[in-house]
Amino acid sequence: MWLELALVLIILPGIIILGNNRLGTIIQLFALQSLVLSTIPLLIHPGIHAFVMAVATVILKVFLMPAMLFWAIRHVSIRREVQPLIGYGKTLILGGLLIGVAFLISSKLDLPDKEISNLLIPSAFSIVMIGFLLLVSRFKAITQVIGYLIMENGIFLFALLLLEKTPLLVEMGILLDIFVAVLVMGIIINHINQEFGSASTINLKNLKD
């Protein structure tokens, strides 16, 4: 029961982010989501492996990455997002639809570990969908990065199904990759900011055929 509560508490910030337009709030909501996410390994397979994963997730995703993102937007004077591609209301509805699709898809698959939870795979899918929606529908670079990170959160949930079967090394490698990805993204966002005066990717439309 705690597991399912935690899963819902992970989807909840995702939905709120879809409708939100303040960059600072979005980063904080992501940190909250990652915090709840880090407790899930301990709820599924308590043990040393899970503990290490939880601690690593907390350090990276709750503290370091939001700090990096806040650093990246430090120079941006406007802390608000512009209108997303299809407007906030439609984005929310589309998000709801995608969550429905996610639940539909996962009901067609045969789940390997039914005793963990019926809800794990659908919620993992829906978080990936929410992250993807965020990535493609928003214009500010930071929000796109957060969308990518939310997708990674969802993928992490999937990885939890295999917690004891994957070598710890590989999972650490994955986390490290994501960390470096955010680092590089943050640096490039800074370049975008310096060059164009705002961290919005609306200006990035010169290269086309």
Partner 1 sequence: MGIRILSHISIVMILSPLLLGIIGKTKAFFAGRWGPPLLQPYYDIKKLFNKGNVYSTTTTWIFQAAPIVSMSAVLVSSVFIPLGGLKAPLPFWGDIVLFAGLYALARFFTIIAALDTGSSFEGMGASREAAFSCLAEIVLFLDFIILALLSKKFILSEMIGRNFFSWQLFGPALLLVGVSFFLVLLTENARIPVDDPATHLELTMIHEVMVLDHSGWDLAYILYGSAVKLLVLGALFVNILIPFHDLSVINQTIIFWGAMILLAMSIGIVESCMARLRLNRIPQLLTGAFVLALVGLLIILVKGV
Partner 2 sequence: MAAAIFLIPQDRFKKIILLLTSSGHLLATVSLWPMPRDIQFNSFLGFDALSQLILNLISILFFVVSIYLISYLKEKRRRSNRIFIGCLLCLLAAMTLVTMSRHMGLLWIAIAATTLLSAPLINYYRTPQSIEAAWKYLLISSLGIALGLLGTLFLAISAISIKTVFLGDILNNATVLSPSWLKLSIIFLLVGYGTKMGLAPMHTWKPDAYGEAPSPVGALMSGALTGCAFLAVFRVAQICFHAHLQRFVMPIFILLGILSLGISAVFILGQKDFKRMLGYSSVEHMGILVLGIGLGGGGIWASLFHMVNNAFAKGLIFLVSGNLNQIFRTKRIENIQGVIHRFPITGICLIIGFLVITGFPPFGIFYSELLILKEAIMTRQYMVVLFYLLFLSVIFFGYARIVLNMALGQPKEGHHHGIKEENFFMVMPLIILLLVLFFSGIFVPGPLYSLIDDASALLEGM
Number of neighbouring beta carbons within 10 Å of residue 74? 9
Among 29, 117, 185, 200, binds partner 2 (CB under 8 A): 185
Instruction: Kindly state the number of chain residues that form the binding site for partner 2, as judged by CB under 8 A.
Output: 40
From 27, 56, 19, select the one nearest 189 (Cα to Cα): 27
Interacting residue ranges for partner 1, rule: CB under 8 A: 1, 4-5, 7-9, 11-12, 15-16, 18-19, 88-89, 92-93, 95-96, 99-100, 103, 106-107, 118-119, 122, 126
- Cα distances (Å, whole numbers) of residue 28 to 5, 75, 147: 20, 18, 13
CA 65 centroid distance within chain: 11
Report in angstroms how near the CB of residue 23 gets to partner 2 at its nearest: 17
Name the H helices within 2-81.
2-18, 23-44, 48-57, 65-72
Which one of partner 2, partner 1, none is in contact with 96 (Cβ closer than 5 to 8 A by kind)? partner 1
Is 100 or 173 the residue whose CB approaches partner 2 more closely?
173
Partners of 140 in beta bridges: 200
Q: Which two tokens stand for residue 165?
A: 């079967």
Build a one-symbol-per-residue string for 123-142: x at contacts with partner 2 by CB under 8 A, - elsewhere. Answer: -----x---x--x-----x-
Q: Which two tokens stand for residue 34?
A: 């990652």
Phi and psi at residue 115, to the nearest 5°: -75, -15
Which one of partner 1, partner 2, none is in contact with 158 (Cβ closer than 5 to 8 A by kind)? partner 2
Q: Does 174 help bind partner 2 (rule: CB under 8 A)?
A: yes
Which one of partner 1, partner 2, none is in contact with 103 (Cβ closer than 5 to 8 A by kind)? partner 1
- Measured distance between the N- and C-terminal CA atoms of the chain, rounded to whole angstroms: 53
Q: Does 64 help bind partner 2 (rule: CB under 8 A)?
A: no
Report in angstroms how near the CB of residue 30 gets to partner 2 at its nearest: 15
Residue 200 has, within 13 A of its CA and on its CB side, a CA count of 16
Distance CA 161, CA 175 (A): 16
Which one of partner 2, partner 1, none is in contact with 19 (Cβ closer than 5 to 8 A by kind)? partner 1
Q: Does 166 help bind partner 2 (rule: CB under 8 A)?
A: yes
Phi and psi at residue 9, to the nearest 5°: -70, -15
Please give the residue ranges that form the binding site for partner 2 (CB under 8 A): 108-110, 112, 128, 132, 135, 141, 144, 148, 151-152, 155, 158-159, 161-162, 165-167, 170, 173-174, 177, 180-181, 184-185, 187-188, 191-192, 195-196, 201, 204-207, 209
